């Protein structure tokens, strides 16, 4: 188990498949992608990354799973989806998503092909986790998909807290 100090959630304990996914190039790449794209030009402290956000999403998903009493393989798939949910983001995030979608035909949350090759695929296979099911959760499919990507999901909960914290704008606080 690894523990990471986070500016929003304090200490985040990471274990299992998520811990192994942390060191993959796809997840490490998120360290170089700003959560709010170019917003730091207006809000200088808004320089947080998709990596930090993904850790927060993982943390909130883990807490939700514990509160719902969901364990085992099903919980591991959700945790994998939480840590991987943003690996499809390009530099500048949503600022250029429309352009990227026109060129590639894919939106940032269409991660199926990214999960089926390379180091991420190897880690998921090591944990006997089907990449297609994880991609489905990222897309909001299935019984627990709404926890990762829905109207009120852990992704949204984290970015509201994190963006408010880093911009100094007093909105989005949740208890």
Beta strands in the chain (DSSP E): 2-6, 10-14
Cα 30 from Cα 1, distance rounded (Å): 21
pLDDT in tens, 112-140: 677 888 999 999 999 999 999 999 999 99
For residues 80 and 39, the model is more confident at 80
State the CATH number of the domain containing residue 72: 1.10.3210.10
pLDDT category at 16 given cuts 50, 70, 90 is: very high
The reply to whether 13 falls in a domain is yes
The reply to whether 94 falls in a domain is yes
pLDDT of residue 24: 97
Domain that holds residue 65: 2-167
Contact status, residue 16 vs residue 76, Cβ threshold 8 Å: yes
pLDDT of residue 114: 75
The reply to whether 39 falls in a domain is yes
Mean pLDDT of 40-51: 86
The reply to whether 172 falls in a domain is no
Tokens of 163: 């963006």
Contact status, residue 60 vs residue 35, Cβ threshold 8 Å: no
Say yes or no to pLDDT of 92 above 80.
no
For residues 42 and 123, the model is more confident at 123
Range of 62-66, 112-116, 170-174 with top mean pLDDT? 62-66
pLDDT of residue 116: 85
Cα 164 from Cα 5, distance rounded (Å): 18
Nearest to 115 by CA among 101, 132, 127, 93: 132
Q: Mean pLDDT score of the chain, rounded to an integer?
A: 88
The reply to whether 91 falls in a domain is yes
How many domains are there within the chain?
Answer: 1
pLDDT of residue 100: 54
């Amino acid at each position: 188990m690894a523990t990471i100090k986070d500016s929003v959630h304090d200490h985040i304990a990471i274990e299992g498949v998520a811990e192994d996914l942390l060191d993959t190039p796809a997840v490490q790449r998120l360290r170089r992608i700003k959560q709010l794209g170019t917003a730091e030009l207006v809000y200088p402290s808004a320089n947080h990354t998709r990596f930090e956000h993904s850790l927060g999403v993982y943390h909130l998903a883990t807490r939700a799973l514990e509160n719902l009493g969901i364990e085992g393989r099903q919980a591991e798939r959700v945790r994998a989806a939480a840590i991987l949910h943003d690996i499809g983001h390009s530099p500048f995030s949503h600022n250029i998503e429309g352009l990227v979608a026109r060129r590639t035909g894919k939106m940032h949350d269409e991660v199926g092909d990214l999960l089926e090759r390379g180091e991420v695929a190897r880690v998921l296979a090591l944990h006997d986790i089907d990449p297609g099911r994880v991609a489905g959760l990222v897309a909001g499919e299935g019984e627990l998909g709404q926890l990762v990507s829905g109207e009120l999901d852990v992704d949204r909960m984290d970015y509201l807290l994190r963006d408010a914290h880093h911009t100094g704008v007093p909105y989005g606080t949740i208890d």
